[in-house]
Amino acid sequence: MISDKYDIEKIAELDNYLNYVPYCVNPQGLYDVNSLYLDESGIYHAETCYDHIVYKHYIDTGKHAYSVLESLARCIHDNAILHAMDEFLTNFNPRSVVGIMGGHGLKRTDKTYKDIVLLSKNLTEKGYLMISGGGPGAMEATHLGAWMAGRDNSDIEYVLHKLSIAPTFNDYDWLESALDIIKDYPQTRYKSLGIPTYLYGHEPSTPFATHIAKFFDNSIREDSILTIAFGGIVYTQGSAGTMQEVFQDAVQNHYLSYGFASPMVFYGSHFWSEEMPVYNLLHKLQENGRYANLLLTLTDSIDEITDVLLKFRASSETLPDE
């Protein structure tokens, strides 16, 4: 009886705490630009938008939550986001889900940024769902390309020019310039999925992703990105975070964790063979039998990337096991 009374008291304590947190503990769907950034009037206020308030609470209560109650609240939230993401993904062929990985520091004015936009635009038009870590840089370029699918390349040039006033997420007007593009180029046809985390909440989530699965727990977020990209992953220039994703992906493919291996495409031959010679290492390890089942491509051509992914999707209609 003492234990039962204790449990009831703890449940009541949790219920009270859930009423206190500034985020929706049990969201009924994924986030988007409106729910994260805009008020009921469709206006963005940096200090009072939902995303900023939640991130401030996250920092104040500890990246590793100081209290059990906060930890439980975050777990409930992330579980709801996972279920919402799974439901969203039922609308897509798993082999048509492709991830693009790369650094948050890639500038909007860099050639590689434009290349990613064009690649993502092309793949989206061919029926792919593009996913990324949902932040700035290469991640933002992924979702901008998906957002601009179906439009002329002259529109891409204009949009990149407009965004060049704020090349990095640290620049004034970075978010506002993106919101202007969304307003000037509205669309509801093409979808993309960003998967950011409050662990890196100082990096704003890109508003170009039509659906945003934002997690508190970065480990869930990282695993989700790599797990759902059954159509393959394109690796663009990045640093430590991108390296981590490469080897996590390689492990899944090596063990055929979900029934088959997916393409690992490295865009930028000099970077991936000289500056960060990860491609060389994986290729060598596969040659000597340390790794198996890796579908590796090293290229400087976005057209070749498209061909590789299309051939893989067409190679089998078998879906991964549930």
Instruction: Report how far residue 23's alpha carbon sits from residue 50's, in angstroms, rounded to the nearest whole number.
Output: 8
Amino acid identity at 217 = D
pLDDT above 80: residue 10: no
pTM beyond cutoff 0.85: yes
Q: What percent of the chain has pLDDT over 70?
A: 95
Closest CA to 147 of 116, 188, 176, 119: 188
Q: 3-class SS at 293?
A: coil
pLDDT confidence of residue 57: 97
User: What is the number of other CB atoms lying within 10 angstroms of the CB of residue 132?
Assistant: 31
pLDDT digits (tens, 9 = 90+) for 172-231: 999 999 999 999 999 999 999 999 999 999 999 999 999 999 999 999 999 999 999 999
**Concatenated DSSP letters for 21-89?**
SSS-SS-SS-B-HHHHHB-TTS-B-TTTSHHHHHHHHHHHTTTTTSSHHHHHHHHHHHHHHHHHHHHHH
Domain residue ranges in the chain: 2-86, 94-315
In DSSP terms, which residues pair with 299 in a beta bridge?
A: 267
Determine whether domain 94-315 maps to CATH 1.10.1200.10. no
DSSP 279: H
pLDDT above 80: residue 317: no
pLDDT above 80: residue 1: no
pLDDT above 70: residue 2: no
pLDDT digits (tens, 9 = 90+) for 24-82: 999 999 999 999 999 988 899 999 999 999 999 999 999 999 999 999 999 999 999 99
Mean pLDDT (the chain) is 94
pLDDT digits (tens, 9 = 90+) for 193-203: 999 999 999 99
Ranking 37-41, 84-88, 253-257 by mean pLDDT, the lowest is 37-41
